[in-house]
Amino acid sequence: MSEKHRRKISETYISLIVLLLAGFLLFAGYSFTGDDGGVGLVKTRIAGYLRGTSAGPVSSVTVIEDTEPEKSRENVQDTVPKRILLLGDSMVEGLSKPFGRYAAVNGHELTSVIWYSSSSKTWALTDTLEYFVRKYNPDFVMVSLGGNELFVRDLENRKRYVSDIVERLSGIPFIWIGPPNWKDDTGINSILCSIVGHDRFFESRNLEFERGADGRHPTARSSSVWADTISSWLMNTSCHRIRMERPEGTVAPKVKVIVLSNARI
């Protein structure tokens, strides 16, 4: 290899290194300007492909006006069929079908919005929540978030995000299904319980799950049992008790599923 050729190869390698480092600095730079600070190597504030959504700081989010009188938190079961909106992260994928069976048996109308990899931050910093509430006008909401936040360190920010979501759901009865921990979390469950309230927060972390190949998501069978446990709590213990009689035999799920592409914010 001649000296000239060797120099050309070295220059090419250096160009490649510069390209990689420049990319790294670009994405790391975005992370440092994010709400939660710290070193988040591949986080970006560029919003993903979402229907009718945009990213914005938490303080600029508009709270939904109450269109229905707030239901009092009494220990009375509401037997009226509901328009239920189930939304959250990939755990909703496993919960959709079992809750769909509950919907079929109890006369509810269920819509599931699955946003893979989402967290309280994602839902708080976009208007995806308002979009689907406006579109489907639910009179009951089930939120399943927290699985992507088990190891977060910016707990103060998470409190803000969760509070924001709760505030945006004011006027609509809701419950929050806690994540099915596969390891101890850094505090997200405590935050959820304290802000949402123990009578609206279903704590899943101490339940036993059969996990899929990734060691995290409960299997479909385990998700079904999880849904049974949640439904029993919802019907008998929570502050918004709706009819959730257990389906017997083979029941086809009645659920409309919407899957949003992943987005990191």
Partner 1 sequence: MNEDYSLSEYLWNLFFVGGGQPIIFSTVEFWILLVVIISGLVLTGKHNTVRVAYLFAFSLFFYYKANGFLVFMMLATSFVDWKLSVTMARITSVTGRKCILAFSLLMNLGLLVYFKYSVFLMSSVNDLLKTNFPLPEIIYPVGISFYTFQSVAYMVDVYKRRTAPAARLLDYMFFLTFFPILLAGPIMRAEKFLPQIAAKPKIRPGMIWGGFWLLLLGVVKKAVIADYIMQFNGWVFGSPSDYTGLETVFAVIGYSAQIYCDFSGYSDMAIGVGAIMGYDLGVNFNRPYRSVNVTEFWRRWHISLSSWLRDYLYIPLGGNRKGRLRMYFNLFVTMLVAGIWHGASWLFVIWGALHGIGLVVHKMCRPFLEKINDSVVVRIAGGILTFSFVTMLWPLFACHDMSCAYGVYRNIFMSFDISLLLPFVEARFMWVVLVLVVFVSQMLPDSLVDGARRWFVSAPLVFKFIIFVVVVQAVVQFSAGNVAPFIYLQF
In the complex, the residues that contact partner 1 under the rule CB under 8 A are 1, 6, 8-24, 26-27, 39, 41-44, 46, 48-49, 89-90, 93-94, 97, 116-117, 147-148, 150-153, 183, 212-214, 216-217, 219-221, 224, 256-259, 261-264
In three-state secondary structure terms, 218 is: strand
Least distance (Å) from partner 1 to the CB of residue 257? 4
Report strand pairing: 174-177 vs 201-202.
parallel
Quick one: 17 or 76, whose CB is closer to partner 1?
17
C-beta pairs of 47-51 under 8 Å, 24+ apart in sequence: 47/126, 47/263, 47/265, 48/260, 48/261, 48/262, 48/263, 48/264, 48/265, 49/260, 49/261, 49/263, 50/126, 50/128, 50/260, 50/261, 50/263, 51/131, 51/260
Least distance (Å) from partner 1 to the CB of residue 69? 33
H-helix segments, the chain: 3-32, 91-106, 120-124, 128-136, 155-168, 188-196, 220-236
Quick one: 8 or 134, whose CB is closer to partner 1?
8
Q: How far apart are CA 141 and CA 132, in angstroms?
A: 11
The residue type found at 243 is: R
Least distance (Å) from partner 1 to the CB of residue 20? 5
Q: Which two tokens mark 227?
A: 């849904």
Least distance (Å) from partner 1 to the CB of residue 264? 5
Quick one: 11 or 245, whose CB is closer to partner 1?
11
Least distance (Å) from partner 1 to the CB of residue 164? 21
Quick one: 2 or 62, whose CB is closer to partner 1?
2
Quick one: 12 or 75, whose CB is closer to partner 1?
12
Least distance (Å) from partner 1 to the CB of residue 52? 15
Quick one: 73 or 264, whose CB is closer to partner 1?
264
Q: How far apart are CA 14 and CA 253, in angstroms?
A: 57
Query: For 167, how many CA atoms within 13 A lie in the half-sphere containing its CB?
Result: 12
